[in-house]
């Protein structure tokens, strides 16, 4: 009895498969696209990071359609007031489907697989429930998705510190941080960074390692001068104000009050080709897996 049911299930499944393959619409031309997804920025200067990312992506994937999705509605509204039209990832995907694209590789330009990244995975799950939209959709992991990439990111960022920095000067990186459990990745990055360079520290604006922790480490190492770098894809509001601003509560003000001379180096991580390469390596995996038969991300 069981065997019979199993057999008929298998027959149904194979009949279903061959029907799918026989469907001329299903096999009609493949059109692949890439969707780069970021939180977004409304800061016109910070946009250089996105321009650089897109240029690098075009070099890596010549001739492939590349579009953008901004997850932040607030940023998109601000940009709209400036006359700049941007799409949410959902709208960008709908537009790609409308334009006849059959396969889409989404690349998260986030730093950690936190809340913003989960937004993308949930959109993709919903899109997979509507298979009429695309034949396949995949997602490339954010910057810090394994130990090796944490190490690679910290190594590459240390190379971006101005050459005049002396070993006794500190390098202080400001990550975003999150209340999500993936904030632990910042802790891992901070330890990795400090193991590479005893005077290099990483803290966060909204996570568990705060300015006080960074200050304590500076005091312990008797730091007199520090190079300040954002550890965020763009050097936008957090970098300009929370890190290097003149207000009392900025990191620069806090460090200066502690007798440390600050040298802000305000470049987003996506302005560095060697960091963009990590995101693009993840995208390459996602793009290659578009050719597989089942959905995966
Ligand atoms: Co923020």
Q: How many CB atoms lie within 10 A of CB 73?
A: 10
- C-alpha 1 to ligand 1 mean position (Å): 60
Q: And the tokens for 110?
A: 């986030």
List, for residues 32-62, the tens digit of each pLDDT value: 999 999 999 888 888 899 999 999 999 999 9
- C-alpha 137 to ligand 1 mean position (Å): 28
Is 240 a residue whose pLDDT tops 90? yes
pLDDT confidence of 293, banded at 50, 70, 90? Answer: low
List, for residues 113-151, the tens digit of each pLDDT value: 999 999 999 988 887 767 678 999 999 999 999 999 999
Instruction: Decide: 230 and 267 in contact? Cβ < 8 Å.
Output: yes
Rounded to whole angstroms, the Cα distance separating 172 from 258 reads 14
Residue 2 or residue 107, greater confidence: 107
Q: Per the residue annotation, which of 103, 110, 176, 297 is the catalytic one?
A: 176
The region of weakest confidence among 6-15, 52-61, 157-166, 280-289 is: 6-15
- C-alpha 285 to ligand 1 mean position (Å): 29
pLDDT at position 15 is 37
- C-alpha 86 to ligand 1 mean position (Å): 19
Residue 174 or residue 17, greater confidence: 174
Which residue do the tokens 């929370």 mark?
A: 242
Is 23 a residue whose pLDDT tops 70? no
Residue 250 or residue 292, greater confidence: 250
pLDDT at position 27 is 52
Q: Compute the average pLDDT of residues 169-175.
A: 98
The region of weakest confidence among 79-88, 192-201, 254-263, 267-276 is: 79-88
Is 202 a residue whose pLDDT tops 70? yes
Rounded to whole angstroms, the Cα distance separating 16 from 20 reads 6
- C-alpha 186 to ligand 1 mean position (Å): 15
- C-alpha 76 to ligand 1 mean position (Å): 15
**List of residues 6+ apart from 1 with CB closer than 8 A:** none
Percent of the chain with pLDDT over 70: 88
pLDDT at position 125 is 87
Q: And the tokens for 295?
A: 């959905």
Q: How many CB atoms lie within 10 A of CB 65?
A: 14
- C-alpha 7 to ligand 1 mean position (Å): 55
110 is known as an active-site residue: no
List, for residues 75-111, the tens digit of each pLDDT value: 999 999 999 999 999 999 999 999 999 999 999 999 9
Q: Average pLDDT of the chain?
A: 89
Q: And the tokens for 18?
A: 């061959």
What is the DSSP secondary-structure string of 173-235?
Answer: EEE---SSGGGHHHHHHHHHHHHH-TTEEEEESSSSS-HHHHHHHHHHTT--EEEEEEESSS-
| Residue 126 CA: distances (Å) to CA of 35, 56, 104, 129, 172 | 16, 30, 14, 5, 40
Rounded to whole angstroms, the Cα distance separating 101 from 104 reads 7
Positive or negative, the Cα torsion across 244, 246, 247, 252?
Answer: positive
pTM of the model: 0.88
pLDDT at position 285 is 97
């Amino acid at each position: 009895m069981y065997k019979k049911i199993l057999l008929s299930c298998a027959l149904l499944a194979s009949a279903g498969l061959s029907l799918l393959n026989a469907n001329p619409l299903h096999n009609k031309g493949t059109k692949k696209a890439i969707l780069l997804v970021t939180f977004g920025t409304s800061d016109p200067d910070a946009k250089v990071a996105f321009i650089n990312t897109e240029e690098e992506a075009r070099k890596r994937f010549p001739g492939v359609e590349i579009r953008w999705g901004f997850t932040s509605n607030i940023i998109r509204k601000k940009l709209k007031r400036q006359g700049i039209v941007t799409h949410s990832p959902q709208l960008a995907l709908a537009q790609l489907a409308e334009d006849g694209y059959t396969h889409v590789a989404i690349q998260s330009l986030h730093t950690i697989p936190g809340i913003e990244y989960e937004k993308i995975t949930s959109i993709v799950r919903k899109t997979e429930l509507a298979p009429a939209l695309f034949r396949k959709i995949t997602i490339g992991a954010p910057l810090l998705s394994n130990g090796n990439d944490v190490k690679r990111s910290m190594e590459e960022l240390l190379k971006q510190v101005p050459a005049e920095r002396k070993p006794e000067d500190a390098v202080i990186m400001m990550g975003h941080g999150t209340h999500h459990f993936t904030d632990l990745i910042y802790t891992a990055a901070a330890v990795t960074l400090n193991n590479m360079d005893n005077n290099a520290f990483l803290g966060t604006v909204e996570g568990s390692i705060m300015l006080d922790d960074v200050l304590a480490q500076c005091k312990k190492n008797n730091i007199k001068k520090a190079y300040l770098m954002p550890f965020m894809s763009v050097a936008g509001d957090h970098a300009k104000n929370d890190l290097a601003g003149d207000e009392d509560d900025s990191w620069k003000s806090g460090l200066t009050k502690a007798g440390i001379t600050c040298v802000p180096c305000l470049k987003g991580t996506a302005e560095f080709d060697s960091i963009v390469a990590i995101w693009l390596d993840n995208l390459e995996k996602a793009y290659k897996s578009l050719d597989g038969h089942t959905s995966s991300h």
